[in-house]
Structure 1
Amino acid sequence: MKKIIQDVVFKKTRPPAVTPAKSTPKVNEAIPKTGLEPISPHTFLQKGVGASPDGRESNSKFVLWLVAVIAFIFLLFSVSVLFTSAKIVVLPKIKDLVVEQEITASKDAKNGILPFELMTIKDEETRILKATKQVDVEKKASGQVFIYNAFSTEPQKLLIETRLEGEGKIYKTDAPVIIPGSTVKDGEIVPGSIEVGITAAVPGEEYNSGPIDLTIFGFKGTPKYTKFYARSKGEISGGFKGLAYVIDEEEANGVSNDLQEILKSRMLARAKAEIPSDFVFFDGAAFFDFGDTKPKIEAKESDLPITEKAALTVVLFNREKLTSKILELTDKEKTGADFYIADLNNLNFTIKSPADLSLGEPKELVFSLSGRAKTVSKVDEDKLASDLLGIRKKEFRQVLANYPNIDQAEVTIKPFWRSTFPENLNKIKIIVKS
């Protein structure tokens, strides 16, 4: 049977239940359009539970991170500026040098002659020995005197054992002497003088004396008597007559030698400590004078002192001037202003004349220097540091090219990320190694 559509009856069915979905609220059409896409609240919820819909908390975190980054960058900049420093280790040019020269030096330093200076140090050392032996002793007092000639410009010769009188006592000279003649300076007479040892005419303590004036006994009654005179150098001592404690002479000499070695060591150390840094000192240029006195071996008391007195004379040279003189004789292209000699003190130094500086202060001396040394180029550290101020590290080699006296150089800049030298001289350190 043919069915007509009108005859079809549709079964009424209940529409399926639909759970209402959380729909996006409609945007109020009354709000004016700004050209910006509307933002779904889900966008905020995906970034964290409880995020505020208006984004204020997210913006605060962003600002905090931004401030932290800026502070960190500022800290790095501050560290870079405040703690920046540069250290440059420089190796100057060095050459071998063979020295074998005889040099003349002058106290007056005239006509280009090398000048020298003399330094004198005095010291003494005493050791007490215990004497147990007693004997009868007769000992003559002795000492040193200066004899003066104010009589004439001509020298005056005196024989050995020339008698000198002072305070009613007679002493005799220990050696023949020639007293230099007097001179005239600024219209005044300057007496000539000479030093000589004297000994009392007879033994006894009464001849012991402090400093005294003496006359020449043989000139009494002549015009020379008041124009020739003597003055003691310190005390006149050692006179004795009677029972005395004595020690063995060999023992006394041994102690005396020990004391001299102690004095040598101590005085040399003192001399080296007192010499200015711009002067040079050679061990061969040190001269000791212990006098001619023998150690005392008798005394009234059992405690017998052995005393050694010494005078050290040291020849000193200005380091730069001596270097210039050596280079002048060995390599005329170099000067002491541009080079120095390393280990200059280690060269062998020998006095040629005078033979003994302890006899007086010479006006001129001749010495020899020999040995091997090295010439080292001087580096103007202040100028180099000034040339490096504020330049970039890669420009360092260009600056170094202006210093032909530098063989090698190594630079370190801190902090490590800085690529420029400090702009403060106090933060640039130059170390010269040789």
Structure 2
Amino acid sequence: MEDKKFFDIIPPERVKEPSGEPEKKAESKPVRKPEKRPAPIKPSVPIPPVAVGEEETDSSDLIPRKISWPRAKVLTFSTALIFLISMGGLAYLKLPIVTIDVWLKTENLTFTIPAEVSKEVKSVNLERGLLPGKVVSEEQFLSQEFSSMGKAVREERAEGIIRIFNDYSTTSQSLVATTRFVSSEGKLFRLVERVMVPGQTLEKGKLVPGTVDALVRADAPGQDYNIGTSSFSIPGFAGTPKYTSFYAKSFSAMKGGFKGETAIVSAEDLEKAGQTTRAKITEKINNILKNRMLPGLLLVEQDVPLNILEQGPTAKVGEAVKNFNYQVRARKETILLSEDDLKVLAQASLVSRLSEDQRFLPESLKINPALVSLEAADEKGQVSLQISVKVYNNLESEALKKQLSGKSIQEVQRSFQDLSQVSQAKIKIFPSFFKNLPRDLDKIELKISFE
């Protein structure tokens, strides 16, 4: 046998974790092979740390359980199916929805009926055409100012008062009309009437001239003769001692002299003024009468005459004034009626004029009463009722809906074209892919309008 050699095998020292205890001398230990430990299993869901003193829980309880794919698919499909079935049922009950707008032709019907009105009648008498009513009256005065629109060339002479002095003798002096007086400005005026100028008188030992006031007028028209206060001489005494002893003075200005175009009252002015004033007073009286009315009453206005008590202008044709007034005093008498009574009488007469298929639109009924005669003292009269209303041929909605149910839209349109009383029709169906009207009449809405 071969000789075998043996060597001491010393294992490597372990690395010790630091600790608070003093290091001890390493002791020799037998060599051990390191044990293989299984690798730790990492959970798919984080496991929360366990606090000290708490019991550990099974980590498998914290992992949510997943629903298998086939089961989720069945649940989704079932929900969708239930929803579709519900919506389908609702659609079956409600759809389609049809709205048909129909416009019917109308025509105007007008006629006139007579009626008697009296305060003694208490209610409408259809057979005799009697209406209860009341006679009302109102009197007013109106004065309006108007401008003169006529034009004319006007010539006016200035006038004024002068005081004539006789400082010639104690004998009176007669001066004839048209005696000339010349102002200090050289303007010639003439006496309008003959005057007697008194002679001198003795006052306190002195002779005082006799005086007289007289009206003089300018010898020619024009504004130049509108002079102020002035002194006057008598040209007829020129060259005689009387020339300086007879004289005159004015103490106020001469007025009225004019020459040129001016406004005058024309015949057309008076005619227009009369028409305007009469129209205004008529309106004024009507408004007063209307204000007296209670709701539901109607005032007869048509053909009611205006009783003119007095009228006239404050100026005559050709008078040169810029403005003038026209005055009117007038009275109006008419009848007051009840609107309800008028409708009762009018509708009764209207129904008798309609055919079996005709109807009328109540809101289109218009009644215009006109006065025929009036006895104000007895409070009675006669009126003529002018009536107008729109009529149409009736269309039975339910019967028409029943006739159109289940038909196609084209058939429905042709049906309306065949109806003479229909002007036009519009059909709306929802949803639009439906081509036929439903058989359920509650799903069809028929709206009727009029031209």
- The TM-score, its normalising length taken from structure 2, stands at 0.31
- The TM-score, its normalising length taken from structure 1, stands at 0.32
Larger Rg: 2
